[in-house]
Chain A
Amino acid sequence: MQARLAAVNVVSAVVDDGRSLSALQDVFDAVDPSRDRALAMELSYGVLRWRWQLDGIAHRLLSKPLRRRDRDVMLLIWVGIYQLLHMRIPPHAAVTETVNAVRAMDKEWAAGLVNACLRRFVRERDGLLAQADQADEQALSYPRWWLARLRRDWPAQWREIAEAGNRRAPMTLRTNKLRIEREQLSARLTEAGLSHALCAYSSDGIRLDEPVDVAKIPGFVDGSCSVQDEAAQLAPGLLDLGPDQRVLDACAAPGGKACHLAECSPRSQVVAVDIDAVRMRRVDENAARLGVALRSTVGDVAKPAQWWDGQLFDRMLLDAPCSASGVVRRHPDIKSLRRDEDISALAVTQQDLLENLWPLLKPGGILLYVTCSVFREENDAVVAHFLAGHPGAMEYPIDSQWGNKLAVGQQILPSEQMMDGFYFARLVKR
C-alpha cells in the first residue's frame, strides 16, 4: 500500500474509531518495507501529533466543509499539510504524491480540490500559520480539556510540557547487568557505529543519538539489553532492594520493570501480576530473553484473592494504569484517545489498587507508586488522599537530582533531563 494511503487509514482508525497505534501495526506491515514503511509511520505519527493544528488549517483552506463520507479526503489534506509544514519533502513532490493518493482512493473528483488546497497552503503559509497560532489548541495541537488541565496543574510550566509532548523521544537502552557491564555494552555500540551517551540518572541506561531498529543493536537478541526510557529505569533504585526479598510488580505487563527488578536483585523473588493474559505472555518472553527468573501470574491486581499466596511482600512496585499523558511524545495517539472524564475514572482505579495492595506489604516495607502521567489528579492527589486515610502509611521522601518535588512524590516533566514524564511516590509501612 502507498505510504500516504496507509497514513490515512491509520489516522482514521485512531481518530474516528478510537483504536490505538499499537493495535494498528498490521497496517504498517502491509506497506513495502524497502520503500514506504518508514514514511507511512512518520506520516501517521506526525499527523496524529499535529492533528489539531492541521485540522484548523484545513478548515480555513476549504470554502465549504466536506461531506461526512469524504472524511478520507479531509484526512489526506491533513497528511498533505503535514508534509509541507513539518517534513523536508520538496513542496512540489509532496503535492504531487498526495494528489496521486486521492486517485488511488478512487476519488478522482477530489484531485483538483486537494491540489488547490495544498497549493494555496504553500502560497499563504505564513498567514495561515499565524491564524492557527491564535488558538493554543491549534498552535500546540492538543484537545482543549488537556490544555485546561495542564494550565491548572502546572501554571508556570504548562506550555513547555505541551511543547515537549510534540517533540520526538530518544531511544534509550537498559543494560542487563547480569549479562554485561554498561561500559562494555557502550563499547559494543561504538563498534557497531551507534553513537550514544551514558544516562546520568539511571546507572544502567544508554541513550542512542538516533533511534534504530532493535535488530541492529548488538546484544539485544541475546538479552544484554532492553529498550526502556530512562525515567522508567529509575524504579528499582528507589526501592532500596536488598538480597532475598519478596518483590511484587503489580500491573507488570509487558514486564520491562519486572525484569529490571530481577536484574537488580537476582536473589530476590519477583512476582509479576497483570490482568491481561495476552500481554502477560510478553513478560515471560522478556524474562526468557534476559535470563531472569520471575513468577508471573495472571489476575486482577485489585483482587489479591485471585493470585496472592498469602505471603507478605518486602517491596511493591505499583505501575498504575494511567492516562499516559507523560509519554505522548512516544504515543501521539493518546491525545486523540483520552477523554477528560477518563482521568477521574483512572484516579478511582488507582486509589482502588493502592487500597487493595497495601495490606500485602510487610511493616517496614516500601511501596513505589508510579505513573507516566503529568495530570496531578492521577499523581500526588491520589497518593495524598491515600496517606490521609492510612495512618500506617508514611511518605518516604525521594532525594534525587532529577524531577520536581511535589507536596507528595516527585514528578519528572516530559523531556526534562531528556526523560519521559513520570511520577513517583514512595511509601513505607509503619
Chain B
Amino acid sequence: MAILPILHFPDPRLRIKAQPVERVDDSVRKLVDDMLETMYEAPGIGLAAPQVNVSKRVIVIDISDDKSSPLCLINPEIIRRDGIEEMEEGCLSVPSIFEKVERARQVTVRFLDRDGKSVETAADELLAVCIQHEIDHLEGKLFVDYLSELKRQRIRKKLDKIRRRTM
C-alpha cells in the first residue's frame, strides 16, 4: 500500500473527465487500497481517483469514525435522486475551505464493487452527499463550482497564500 499525492485546486488535472474502468482486476484493487490509505491518512471521508491524478471512475468513502466501513465504488452512476438538503462540505483537494452546498437528500447509486460485481444501493444524509461530491470529481467538477465566482476567487487567493507559507 502507498500514500498517493493529492492534487489541489486549481490544478487543471482535477478538471479532466475520468474514464470508466473496463475490468476490475488487481491493478484496480491496488488503486482502491492506495486510495483508502491516502484518504485515512489525510484524513478525509471520501476520495476520487482524479484527486490522486488517476483518470479512472473509482471512488472510496468511509464516513465512520473508526475506519470500520470502507466503501469502494467503481463506475458509479446515480440512478435516482430525491429531496434537497444543504450541508457544509470540504474537500481534500481544496484544503481548509468549508462551504454550504445544496444537493439531493437521498440517492440510489449503481456501481461495481471491488470484486467487479454490480451493486445497487440507496443512501441518505452524509453518505448521499459524499457520494454526489465524489462522483462530481469523476466529471471534473468541484464543490467550489457551486459557489459564486467572487467566492471562488477568494478561495484561490487564500489557497495561494497557504501554499506560499508552506513552501
Contacts and interface: CB of A to CB of B under 8 A. Distances in A.
Contacts, number: 31
B11 to A, nearest CB: 5
Contact of B16 (A240, A242, A394): A394
A218 interface: no
Given A242-B160, A243-B160, A364-B7, A396 B12 contact: yes
Contacts of A394: 13, 16, 55
Contact of B15 (A242, A243, A365, A397): A397
A366 B7 CA distance: 15
A426 to B, nearest CB: 8
A314 B141 CA distance: 22
A216 interface: no
B55 A428 contact: no
Interface string B1-28: 0000001001111011100000000000
**Range, interface on chain A:** 10 to 19
Instruction: With a 10 A CB-CB cut-off, give which of A242, A394, A426, A428 has the most chain B CB atoms.
Output: A394
B44 interface: no
A366 B12 contact: yes
A242 B140 CA distance: 19
B53 interface: yes
A242 B10 contact: yes
A240 B55 CA distance: 20
A430 B15 contact: no
B17 A397 contact: yes
Nearest to A239: B12
A395 interface: yes
Given A242-B160, A243-B160, A394-B55, A430 B13 contact: yes
Interface in A346-396: 364-366, 394-396
A393 to B, nearest CB: 10
A366 B140 CA distance: 15
B16 A364 contact: no
Nearest to B11: A364
B8 to A, nearest CB: 10
A308 to B, nearest CB: 22
Contacts of A397: 15, 17, 140
A428 B140 CA distance: 12
A125 to B, nearest CB: 55
B15 A396 contact: yes
B160 A428 contact: no
Interface of B: 7, 10-13, 15-17, 53, 55, 140, 160
19 contacts: A240-B10, A240-B12, A243-B160, A364-B7, A364-B12, A365-B12, A366-B12, A394-B55, A395-B16, A396-B16, A396-B140, A397-B15, A397-B17, A426-B12, A428-B12, A428-B13, A428-B16, A430-B13, A430-B53
Q: What are the 7 closest A-B residue pairs judged by CB atoms, nearest first?
A: A428-B12, A394-B16, A396-B12, A396-B15, A366-B12, A364-B11, A364-B13
